Every structure is written in C-alpha cells, then in structure tokens.
Amino acid sequence: MTSNLSTVAPTFESLESALKHFFGYDRFRSGQKPIIEAALENRDQLVIMPTGGGKSLCFQLPALLRPGLTVVVSPLIALMQDQVQALHDNGIGATFINSTLSGNQVRQREAGILSGHIKLLYLAPERLLGEGFLPFLDRVHEQTRILSFAIDEAHCVSEWGHDFRPEYRQLRGLRRRYPTVPMMALTATATERVRQDILQQLGLKSPTVHVASFNRPNLFYEIRPKQKQSYVELLKLVKQTPGSGIIYCLSRKKVDEITFRLQQDGIEALPYHAGLADGKRAEHQNRFIRDDVRVMVATIAFGMGINKPDVRFVIHYDLPRNLESYYQESGRAGRDGEAARCTFFFSYGDVKSVDYLIAQKVDPQTGEPLEEEQQIARQQLRQVIDYAEGTDCRRRIQLAYFGERFEGSCGNCDNCLNPKPMQDWTIEAQKFLSCVARCKERFGMKYIVDVLRGSKDKRILQNGHDQLSTYGIGRDRTADEWRLLGRSLLHQGLVDETSDGYSILRLNPLSWDILRKQRSVYVAAPPQSKTTLPEDGGLRADMEALFDRLRSLRKQVADEQSVPPYVVFADSSLRLMAQQQPQNLEEFAQISGVGSYKRDQYGQRFIEAIRQFCEEQGIPLRDLSPIVAAEPAPATPPLLARTHFYTLELHQQNLTPFEIAEKRKLSINTIYDHLELLVQAGQSVQLNQLVDLERQTVIQQAIATVGDASLRVIREHVGESYDYIEIRLVRAQWRSSKN
C-alpha cells in the first residue's frame, strides 16, 4: 500500500518526514504506519494496541496532513486536557469541549473551530447529545469539513468491557448522520468479545482491524516473596529506582500506612484512594504528573485517568485482582518505551485473605453464597498464583493469558535472567504425602508442615499426632521450604486441595505413584539472591549529571507554561541530549522527540544549558557560534493555535497580561509566551502597552550590537534592571520585522 501523500500534503516527502516535523520522532512504532496509511485512504478502522503503543499518533498525524477537522471522542477529561496540551506544545491547533467549560468558553472554542485554526477537537461523549451540538457539527462539516472521527477507549461502548459507558452508545448516531466520514476506533482491551462488540455497536464499515502484540518489551517483570521485613525491601527498591513510581495496595489503610512510612524515610510520596476528598485526589494526581512528588501510593482507583508516560516503576505490594488487571496496572509503567520495572510482592498470607474474602461473597438478599462468582474469583486467583509461582518466562505466561504465543526467553524478567534450577525433592515429597495420609487427609498445609517439623501445637498433641511415624521427620528443612514443596505439589497436580474454604489436602492417584516410588518430583529451587536487572544502557556518570541538569531545566520550563514536564520533552530525548550534547540548533533538531516547533521553542535554552555544562566540565565546545538556525529563518510564521488568538483577543480588549492570566486560569508566563509568539508572527500586539518605549529602544540597540541569538548576552548588555520578558518581547518584534 502506498500513501498518496504527495497529492494531499505536498510539503512532505514521506510520512516519516511529516512525523519528524510535527512530533520530532524519527520512525514509526510498530503498527503505526499502516494504520496512518489506511486513515489517509479514508477507511474505517479498529486499532487494538497495548497501553503505551502509541495509539494517539495514529489519528493525530492523518489529522494534520489534510484540511478539515478531526473529532476525537474521549471519556476521560484529564486525558483530554493532557493530549491537547501535548499537541499545543508541538505547535498544533487543538482544543477540547467538555463539562468543565463555561457556555462562553464553549462558544469561543466553537468560533475557533469554524475559523479553521483547529485541526483536532476532543469531545466528551455526552457533549454530542448536548443542546445544539450536532447542528454545530453540521455547520463545521459544511464550512470546513469533518475529516474523520476517532473514538478513543472504544471498549467503553461494550457492556462486556470493564468500563461500559452508556453515552458511548450514542456514537452510532454519528455514523448515521455523517455516513461518509471515516471512523477509527481505538482501545487497549484484549478480549475478543469486546472487539466484536465495538465493530457492531459503532457500525464500522468493512473495517481494517489492526491488533498489535501485547508484549511490552521494555518492562522488566519480577516477583519477590513478601515477608515481614518486606517494607525494607520496598524502600530499597524505591530508593534504587530513579524516576516516578506507583505502589498499589489493596486497602486505604495500607495506602496510608505505606505513604506515612515512606515519607518518614525521606521519600516524596502521596496517597491516593477513594477515602480522600475529590479535590485532594486531583491535587495529589496533579503533583505526581508534574513531578513535584515522586511516588504515588494508591489503591487501584488510581491510574485510569492519567497517561504519564515516564512512570519508571509500578510495585504491587498486594495481590492484583486477576492477571488482566495486573497486566493493565503494571502496564502504566514505561509508556514512553524506556526501561521500567514491574515488581509484585507475593505472599501466601495475602492469598489466604483474598480466599477468605471470596468465601464471603453472598447474595445480599438471600444470604446464599454466590457460587458462580466465587468460582470465577477463585479461578482468577489461581491464575495469579500460577503466574507468581511460575518458573517460566513471565512474559510468556502473561501473553498466553491473552492468547498470544511468545517463544523462547525474553531476557527481561526474573525467571529468564535468573532461572531457578530444578531440584530433585522426591524423598521430601514422599515424607510430605505420607504425612497427609497418616493424618487421614483431614488437614490443611499448615498443619501438615507443623507435624513434619515436630511442632508442640496443642491441636497436634490433642490429636495424638505426635505419635505418628512422620512426626518431626522434616526438621532438616524450614517451614518455608516445606510450604514451597506443598504448593509445588499442588501446582503440578500431585496432590489435591478441597475448595470448601478449608483447603484440606487430599491424595490423588499421582500422589500414590510418588508414595509407591513410581514417580520423581522436581521443584524449582527457592530464590537465593535477588535478581539483578539487565544493563539498561545507563549513562556514564558525567552524562548522568548533565541529564539531571536537563531534567531540572525541563521542570522549570514546564512550570513556566503550567504543563507536565513530559509534555516538554520525554526522558528519552533528554537522555539523547545528554549523550550527544548537541551544540547548535541543527544538531539539536536531530534528537528524537525534537520537532521543528520544539526546536524553535526550547532549542536555545537547552543548548545553552548543555554548552554551559561542557564549559564547567572542561569539555571543549565544538561549536561556539551563536545559537541560531543553520538555515535562514523559515518563511512561515510560527504556528498559532486557538489559545494564542484568545490571548490576543483579550489583549486587544486592553486587559493586562496579569488580567488575561487570571481570566484564563493560565500562568503569567504562558501568557507572555503567547504574546511573544503573537508578536513574532506579526499579529497586532500593542507592544507599547507591554514595554516602555524607552526601554524598547535600549533593547533594540543592544540587539543591533550583539545580535538576537542569546537572551543572556542581550541581558548582559542592557543590564540587570531589564528582565527577560521585556527582552523576549522586543526581540520577537525585531525578528518579525526582519521576516
């Protein structure tokens, strides 16, 4: 399939060059390109990709390559804002309409859409039903054309999914009203039933279905036994793993407890659970997203509404509900494709508690046990235990759960890196099973182990089991080792356990084979040492220092614009900057993640930081020329989005920057950024209202002398009584007059 790009967007030679221009990436992720090509052919599509696979780009890039509006339906308001912010930060006209906006704001945004500045409109599904909205879309369609619909989180349309939203059913109406506008449905849900439901409910027409692999190769999976001192291990893990992380616990109480202990131990951590007021929860979430706080300790209520791509670790301190939840929750790590760690602390005590809770599931009306539900829950629990105890590649077990085959060993899980040797435990198994037999198959694991270890427990003495020939014959092994054997026997089907809530051990024909010495038993050896992570291509110490410095610069830039740091640059881009140390804009633009807009917006500050670092370290600079674009400034003015025009409108109504910031609930720095861009684009900004005329003259003279490349150099020339904002505004005008 070849794309007919040349006819639609003659400025780009290939989809790759468009990708680099708008998003700064060098290549497509697996699956993205065919989806984009099919979108350019106006086909209906169903896109199934795991979290972090890069779904958004599949509808964003086609939206930018042709005239018209792409309407994106998304259920989560926070995600919507996030994506719109990220698009703005790439200089792309995008906006959202949802219930957080006032009527006035909605009307303004609608005007922006009709003016054609907006390429992507994000919409909450209930909006479609809102009064007068469909007629508005009709107008858009007549005036500027609706290019396509993208239905994000499309599983919400299905009652079989985990997140059914009745409003999603209304989307079918879009299909009827605009039969020729293509529709792309996107989801990370893996089950076949939901997929079928999406196709049907949305009425997709001969759709192309893309199913990406659910393998997340950058995630390292490991299981650690949870013991009494596990908190110490948890703390060590958090200290060892740089970057943001999430710790999941089952109960609010546990969340609060772990948060408290981490805080006491000097870790910046905050809690998140349903017991906190809405405002508090939102605040904690925000602080996590903005990198003000490093660790979120949460119940599973956390994570649905965020897509922070640079989460470096996800720890399950308690049991996940089932394997699919585990996959989704741990999958919140490493969406940016960089290495991340998923650790699951597993204990039998936890299994027992969950098992107990399952046994409590009764019909609230009749008090009868809900047998079917209990059975499903037990089966799911079993799968979690199998995963935790498994000696196979963790990835293989997870993917098999989704019906995907993964061959060989992945090299990025504890079992693949430190395979547990198998040991012959036949004799121990005989002792164990004969003890079960002598206790008349009436007891559970703990009791059997106690008898084997010669415990003086009252019950054992009362039952006279201290008289058995198997009493005390297992003192040579620890209770943990005996339990490991017992569980392994259960797993291998070499002994049975009743599922009546008492978990009594029963012998089966295979058990008798062992007792008759007709069968050997092998058990994976208990872990001796902690798994070590593979080399993650870590940076050298000096690069690490530069990386840290670039991170703080990123944080500063992000705060100035009130956006999350990852919107400015991904970790991977910063790492490349630290490695390659670009010293001019041309080199800077080569970094993956630096598109043309970000090069112009941030290049100077980041290059200055890199140069300064090199100077301090005595690394000779390769390039001492002023930081300016290698090629003449582009003829096109900077891309302006609706948000800039709104600022302009308020400025023209004589509001001061502070008043605009107040009114728009944006930071003052963002407003100055807008004004700078507007000035540079030659829009009619009243510079005299912003900078004293005399001061303008001084700054202009300085620029004429030292050039416009470096703000710092200009400021050194004019003196410290001038601030950067004045200089930026005057410089913008200077640049605009040269265009």
Residues lying near ligand ADP in the complex (CB under 6 A) are found at: 25, 28-29, 32, 49, 51-57, 307, 309, 335-336, 570
CA torsion, points 170, 172, 173, 179, in degrees to nearest 10? 160
- Min CB(223)–Zn ion separation in Å: 12
Nearer to ligand ADP, 19 or 675 (CB): 19
- Min CB(408)–Zn ion separation in Å: 9
- Min CB(29)–ligand ADP separation in Å: 4
Residue 523: what are its φ and ψ, rounded to 5°? -130, 140
- Min CB(695)–ligand ADP separation in Å: 40
How many C-beta neighbours within 10 Å does residue 686 have?
11
Nearer to Zn ion, 395 or 611 (CB): 395
Instruction: List the alpha helices (DSSP H) in 265-405.
Output: 278-289, 323-330, 348-359, 371-389, 394-401
Instruction: State the binding string over 395-434 for Zn ion (x if CB under 5 A, else -).
Output: x--------------x--x--x------------------
Q: Does 558 bind Zn ion (CB under 5 A)?
A: no
Q: How far is CA 447 from the centre of its chain?
A: 45
CA distances in angstroms from 166 to 154, 189, 723, listed in the order given: 12, 18, 53
Distinct helix (H) and strand (E) counts, the chain = 35, 17
Contacts of 379 (CB under 8 A, 6+ apart): none
Nearer to ligand ADP, 309 or 565 (CB): 309
393, interface contact from ligand ADP, Zn ion, none, CB < 5-8 Å by kind: Zn ion
- Min CB(56)–ligand ADP separation in Å: 3
Nearer to ligand ADP, 61 or 269 (CB): 61
Nearer to ligand ADP, 148 or 374 (CB): 148
d(CA 112, CA 55): 26
* Beta-strand pair 94-97/422-424: unpaired
d(CA 140, CA 136): 6
Residue 588: what are its φ and ψ, rounded to 5°? -60, -40
Nearer to ligand ADP, 315 or 570 (CB): 570
Nearer to ligand ADP, 32 or 158 (CB): 32
Q: Give me 669's structure tokens.
A: 């720095």
29, interface contact from ligand ADP, Zn ion, none, CB < 5-8 Å by kind: ligand ADP
* Beta-strand pair 295-298/244-248: parallel
Nearer to Zn ion, 117 or 395 (CB): 395
Say if CB 726 and CB 699 are below 8 A apart: yes
- Min CB(602)–ligand ADP separation in Å: 16
Nearer to ligand ADP, 59 or 348 (CB): 59
416, interface contact from Zn ion, ligand ADP, none, CB < 5-8 Å by kind: Zn ion
Nearer to ligand ADP, 112 or 565 (CB): 565
Cβ-closest position to ligand ADP: 54
Nearer to ligand ADP, 29 or 177 (CB): 29
- Min CB(598)–ligand ADP separation in Å: 12
- Min CB(190)–ligand ADP separation in Å: 13
Shortest CA distance to 407 belongs to which of 210, 215, 191? 215
d(CA 648, CA 629): 27
Nearer to Zn ion, 531 or 579 (CB): 531
93, interface contact from Zn ion, ligand ADP, none, CB < 5-8 Å by kind: none
- Min CB(161)–ligand ADP separation in Å: 16
> Among residue numbers 355 through 394, which ones bind Zn ion (CB under 5 A)?
393
d(CA 601, CA 610): 16
d(CA 722, CA 739): 26
- Min CB(708)–ligand ADP separation in Å: 32
183, interface contact from ligand ADP, Zn ion, none, CB < 5-8 Å by kind: none
d(CA 198, CA 45): 11
410, interface contact from ligand ADP, Zn ion, none, CB < 5-8 Å by kind: Zn ion
Total number of residues that touch Zn ion (CB under 5 A)? 5
Nearer to ligand ADP, 570 or 591 (CB): 570
d(CA 24, CA 191): 33
Nearer to Zn ion, 411 or 472 (CB): 411
Shortest CA distance to 565 belongs to which of 145, 136, 135, 85? 85
d(CA 497, CA 506): 6
- Min CB(566)–ligand ADP separation in Å: 7
Say if CB 114 and CB 146 are below 8 A apart: no
320, interface contact from ligand ADP, Zn ion, none, CB < 5-8 Å by kind: none
* CA–CA–CA angle 397, 482, 469 (5° rounding): 145
Shortest CA distance to 249 belongs to which of 268, 221, 273? 273
CA torsion, points 195, 153, 334, 534, in degrees to nearest 10? -10
Rg of the Cα trace of the chain? 31
- Helices 252-264, 230-240: crossing angle, 10 deg rounding: 60
Contacts of 492 (CB under 8 A, 6+ apart): 521
Q: Give me 594's structure tokens.
A: 């630096």
Nearer to ligand ADP, 78 or 628 (CB): 78
- Min CB(215)–ligand ADP separation in Å: 14
| SS3 of 535-573 | CCCCCCHHHHHHHHHHHHHHHHHHHHHCCCHHHHCCHHH
Query: Please, is 215 exposed, middle or buried when counting C-beta atoms within 10 Å of its C-beta (0-12, 13-18, 19+)?
Result: middle
727, interface contact from Zn ion, ligand ADP, none, CB < 5-8 Å by kind: none
53, interface contact from Zn ion, ligand ADP, none, CB < 5-8 Å by kind: ligand ADP
413, interface contact from ligand ADP, Zn ion, none, CB < 5-8 Å by kind: Zn ion
- Min CB(57)–ligand ADP separation in Å: 4
* Beta-strand pair 505-506/496-497: antiparallel
55, interface contact from Zn ion, ligand ADP, none, CB < 5-8 Å by kind: ligand ADP
561, interface contact from ligand ADP, Zn ion, none, CB < 5-8 Å by kind: none
- Min CB(221)–Zn ion separation in Å: 7
Q: Give me 427's structure tokens.
A: 């004799």
- Min CB(730)–ligand ADP separation in Å: 35
- Min CB(38)–ligand ADP separation in Å: 17
Q: Which residues of 697-709 are buried (b: 16+ CB within 10 A; e: fewer)?
A: ebbeebbeebebb
- Min CB(677)–ligand ADP separation in Å: 23
> Among residue numbers 10 through 69, which ones bind Zn ion (CB under 5 A)?
none
- 222 membership: H or E segment, kind and range: strand 219-225
Nearer to ligand ADP, 78 or 525 (CB): 78
Greatest extent of the chain over all pairs of C-alpha atoms, in Å: 104
Nearer to ligand ADP, 26 or 623 (CB): 26
672, interface contact from Zn ion, ligand ADP, none, CB < 5-8 Å by kind: none
Positions touching Zn ion (CB under 5 A) are 393, 395, 410, 413, 416
